[in-house]
Structure 1
Amino acid sequence: ALWDGGLTALRLPSVAGAALAAAGVGATGARLAGGRAGTLAGAVFALLPAVQQYAQEGRSYALVCAAVIWSGHFLLRALDRPAAARWWCAYGAVLALACWLHEFAVLVLLAHAVTLRWLRVPRWVALRWGLTAGAVVLAVSPLVLLSLGQSAEQLGWLGRPGPEVWLGFWLVGGAGALLVRWTRGPGRPLSVLGAWALPPLLVPGGVLLLVSLVRPYYVDRYVLHGLAGLALPAGAALDRALARARRGTGPVGWAAARWLGGAAAVLAVLVPWSLHVRAPESRKDDVVAVARAVERTARPGDAVLFLPGRRREWLLWAPSVHRRLDDLALDQGPRASHTLQGTELPPGTVRRRLDAVDRVLALGDPPGEPLDPYPEEAVKREVLGARFRVCARTEVWGARITVYARPGHCGRGAGTGAGEAGDVGEGTWEARGHGEGGGPGDHGAAAFGLW
């Protein structure tokens, strides 16, 4: 209402969130292992490609990450001065904010409980933590109760984590454990750094993975804040390596060569990955390429269907393209319905509207994606398959645009060069434009200013 800042307004909170999160890692690392270790830990956190990705995207995860990490820092301060109520209040308030930004952040309470158990804090300190944790749960409970009625819609697209997800989780957790063990030394016992690093790294993600064996809930970005548990021991390990190098008795040239070799190896891994997260191929789809493909293919007045309806977001960002098409299933747009993608007509109405047109552009997921089981989506697929023929298909990154027409109405679509493709079998005409045109934004988008 105060400032329509476009992409800057969309992305600035995520950039600020990632910066605050890195600062929180640095502040926590400084209290646990010294100023240089904290600075290195914050730098490691900022360089992690996953952190860079969600610093770009207009979503809540960078802000959640910042709030969770600073809540941990305030808990550390509260344990240093457990009689000071202000640190407990700061811990509870910031963690409640994190949970309101994304309710799965409440799982960090389990990690903090493990940390307190590991550190063997006095019972009265544990009681203070329990009261604060209870206040956090109470504060977020209205959101939890509301979202229980929406869980099928919000998380119904998730599948059970495959072996590669489990392997990635344990590789990251194992790397954190090895770094914690390597940093063990005088004045820096395993119980302190490990208690602060490993539970947040392993517990929230591990709980979601176990729950996902019954009902899929796990996505790695939901526990992005756990990467602080990898950055903290990495910063301490780098600090220890620097200290050893300064005390070393070997030739200076050999020590410099080892450091240069290590830095080159790190850059060889991080730079390609960091460049990848700035390309359309790092996202699930490329909305700019979708809109351009539709613009080339569509005729004035063509009907359009989104399969499923939430894919309407592909064209909503380009209203000049969307306005040219008759959106058959749309009941109310986002502004009128106060929703993200608008609301759709009931299945019977969609069927009648499909019966009244001769040519339809269907914008759907690429092959291999699960089909939505809802009646309104089933009607779209049923009518298109039974009463229309495939005239042409265009595939771009993360999407497929299919031109359907009644028999005899395919003609020559604008820019397709396709005739009656249905006469020679579905899928004989293919034009592939992966990553075509680049793209800003979440869903095929990189940070503004990088294209």
Structure 2
Amino acid sequence: MARSPALDTAPGLPRTRPGTGPRPPRRPGRAAVALAPAGLTLALGLWGIRRGNSMWRDESTTYQVAHRSVAQIVRLLGDADVAHGVYYLLMHGLFALWDGGLLALRLPSVLAMAAAAAGVALLGHRLAGPRTGLAAGTVFSLAPAVQRYAQEGRSYALVCAAVVGSTHLLLSAVARPRKRTWTGYAAAASATCLLHEFAVLAVLAHGATLLCARVPAPVRWAWAKAASAVAVVLAPLATVSQQQAALVGWIASPGPPELLGFAALALVGLGCAKAAPAAPGPLPLPALALPLLTLPGATLLAVSFLHPIYVDRYVLYSCAGLALLAGAALEAVLRAVPRPRAAAAALAAVAVAALLPCSIHLRTPQSRLDDPMAAARAVRELTRPGDGVLFMPARRREPILSSPGEFRGLRELALARHAVASGTLHGIELPAPRIRARMLTAERIAAVTDPPDQPLDDTPQERVKREVLDRYFRRCAQREVQGMVVVLYARPGRC
């Protein structure tokens, strides 16, 4: 009887049955694609979350504003920081339920960034397949900017997660263009912009995506109507925010570091887009990711040459675009090597090792501009009950606002009305003659000052503080902390 050719094997090799053979590598499911980057981001966010019991000035503002009543927060927003108003109200609600200090301050950002990582991975999955999604989510999780803002008590991580979520809704609306999907997109984008007004640039990037992808005209028209609804919702916030523009007067015009940094990321993204293979999906991945990476930052930079407003954290969500492009390029490279899983593991190990020094630094007080909590502790170490205290300049009152217990028993010599009572961020100071008179009643004064390389404020109050200290007091001791200097002054012979 003749044997079936399908059962023949080469000499010395085991026989196989028809239809059997090496199985293709299993593709990760949607749950694995989302949960792996989310878990990694969560672990990185919880690692060193207290950052050496430090808190920089913006986080200090969040902490003290969120501890005001709703009425007091609303009153403040009429004068300052309306752009962060929704975030302050959300944090107020959290602190009302659980006043967990630094952990409560930063945990929402950790959770939001973990959600953003899962969302980026699922975007990659929808646009180019599960392995691209897994790679994109991992790249996003490891990005230094993502690690940094996952551990900050500010709105940027929440905005990033919300932008990623609204991008998913855009894909759904493009794939199934119905009224309710576009309504959901408009509602999500509006809520995101209320969380931070510069999220509107992500909506602009979505419009550019639809133009690049050459979607049908009805889809573009539906997006235009949704974007118009977002603009209507955002208009009152933008109007009040513009009236408070002096609060961002510290932002300088873009210089070479900002321009080169943005250009480098844009070029990396463009290179990854060229390496990424074409893949089926609601939209081409490069058409979605490149505008999200480049358009928000480029718009802020262009505007900043007329009115400086560019700060990279304002468009943190651009990291999602870079991660998607890098994930697609990595998938193309790994698919071309003989053992893709081993290569992926080796590449991940190299990336973690290369980023480890940066990751460790980001979890130290020295990674931030200043540390009001350390300044408050230094004041407590240098002073005794009855001493006076000054903040030079007055806007550096974060230490006493976030750590009032460290100042118990001390006299504020320049304060006229507390920040809460006056509905301001830092309080209102006395006129210069009153400050002078009160300073002359003190034997010892602790001054919380900027570092020596900072320009001096030229207001009557600040001038009189410096004049009285120079003329009637002597330096007794000094403590330098991150971004601030605490100096103890005393009358001659009273140190």
Amino acid aligned to 1:49: P
1:280 aligns with 2:372: no
What's the offset of the Cα at 1:374? 4.6
Give runs of aligned pairs for residues 14-413 of structure 1, distance below 5 A.
14-82=109-177, 84-152=178-246, 154-185=247-278, 192-245=284-337, 248=338, 261-406=346-491, 408-409=492-493, 411-412=494-495
Are the aligned partners of 1:393 and 1:400 in contact in 2 as well (CA < 8 Å)?
yes
Amino acid aligned to 1:161: P
Write the distance in 2 (CA, Å) between the matches of 1:43 and 1:143.
Answer: 35
Amino acid aligned to 1:111: A
Question: Which digits, 9 at most, give the CA deviation of each residue in 1:187-216, with x for residues without a partner?
Answer: 589x82221111111111112122222322
For 1:395, what is the secondary structure of its paired residue? Answer: strand
With normalisation by structure 2, the TM-score equals 0.75
Equivalent residue number for residue 7 of structure 1 = 102
What's the offset of the Cα at 1:60? 0.5
Are the aligned partners of 2:127 and 2:279 in contact in 1 as well (CA < 8 Å)?
no
Write the distance in 2 (CA, Å) between the matches of 1:198 and 1:369.
Answer: 38
Are the aligned partners of 1:103 and 1:140 in contact in 2 as well (CA < 8 Å)?
yes
Q: 1:282 to 1:386 in 2, by over 3 A?
A: same
Which runs of 5 or more residues in structure 2 are unaligned? 1-95
Are the aligned partners of 1:25 and 1:42 in contact in 2 as well (CA < 8 Å)?
yes
Write the distance in 2 (CA, Å) between the matches of 1:39 and 1:375.
Answer: 58
Are the aligned partners of 2:277 and 2:328 in contact in 1 as well (CA < 8 Å)?
no
Write the distance in 2 (CA, Å) between the matches of 1:294 and 1:4.
Answer: 25
For 1:215, what is the secondary structure of its paired residue? Answer: coil
What's the offset of the Cα at 1:386? 4.9
Amino acid aligned to 1:131: K
For 2:446, what is the secondary structure of its paired residue? Answer: strand
Which runs of 5 or more residues in structure 1 are unaligned? 413-451
Question: Which digits, 9 at most, give the CA deviation of each residue in 1:231-264, with x for residues without a partner?
Answer: 001121222233223xx3xxx6xx7875565334
Q: Which moved more, 1:29-38 or 1:109-118?
A: 109-118
Amino acid aligned to 2:441: A
For 2:184, what is the secondary structure of its paired residue? Answer: helix
For 1:404, what is the secondary structure of its paired residue? Answer: strand
Write the distance in 1 (CA, Å) between the matches of 2:281 and 2:181.
Answer: 24
Identity %: 51
Are the aligned partners of 1:306 and 1:364 in contact in 2 as well (CA < 8 Å)?
yes
Question: Which digits, 9 at most, give the CA deviation of each residue in 1:330-383, with x for residues without a partner?
Answer: 233344344443333344432332233343211111122233455544443344
Equivalent residue number for residue 36 of structure 2 = none
Q: 1:7 to 1:296 in 2, by over 3 A?
A: closer
Write the distance in 2 (CA, Å) between the matches of 1:221 and 1:171.
Answer: 16
Are the aligned partners of 2:156 and 2:316 in contact in 1 as well (CA < 8 Å)?
yes
Are the aligned partners of 1:316 and 1:322 in contact in 2 as well (CA < 8 Å)?
no
Are the aligned partners of 2:473 and 2:489 in contact in 1 as well (CA < 8 Å)?
yes
Write the distance in 1 (CA, Å) between the matches of 2:348 and 2:112.
Answer: 27
Write the distance in 1 (CA, Å) between the matches of 2:220 and 2:344.
Answer: 43
Are the aligned partners of 1:14 and 1:62 in contact in 2 as well (CA < 8 Å)?
yes
Q: Which moved more, 1:31-40 or 1:159-168?
A: 159-168
Write the distance in 2 (CA, Å) between the matches of 1:91 and 1:278.
Answer: 36
Are the aligned partners of 1:392 and 1:404 in contact in 2 as well (CA < 8 Å)?
yes
Write the distance in 2 (CA, Å) between the matches of 1:38 and 1:259.
Answer: 14
Q: 1:137 to 1:360 in 2, by over 3 A?
A: same
Q: 1:385 to 1:112 in 2, by over 3 A?
A: farther
Q: 1:398 to 1:186 in 2, by over 3 A?
A: closer
For 2:284, what is the secondary structure of its paired residue? Answer: helix
Write the distance in 1 (CA, Å) between the matches of 2:293 and 2:432.
Answer: 45
For 2:453, what is the secondary structure of its paired residue? Answer: coil
Write the distance in 1 (CA, Å) between the matches of 2:459 and 2:301.
Answer: 26
Question: Which digits, 9 at most, give the CA deviation of each residue in 1:359-410, with x for residues without a partner?
Answer: 321111112223345554444334434554434332122111122344x24x
Q: 1:151 to 1:260 in 2, by over 3 A?
A: same
| Backbone CA RMSD of aligned residues | 2.4
Amino acid aligned to 2:296: P
Write the distance in 2 (CA, Å) between the matches of 1:182 and 1:206.
Answer: 23
For 1:160, what is the secondary structure of its paired residue? Answer: coil
Q: Which moved more, 1:138-147 or 1:352-361?
A: 352-361
Q: 1:71 to 1:374 in 2, by over 3 A?
A: farther
Write the distance in 1 (CA, Å) between the matches of 2:464 and 2:175.
Answer: 62
Amino acid aligned to 1:201: L
Pick the structure with greater CA Rg: 2
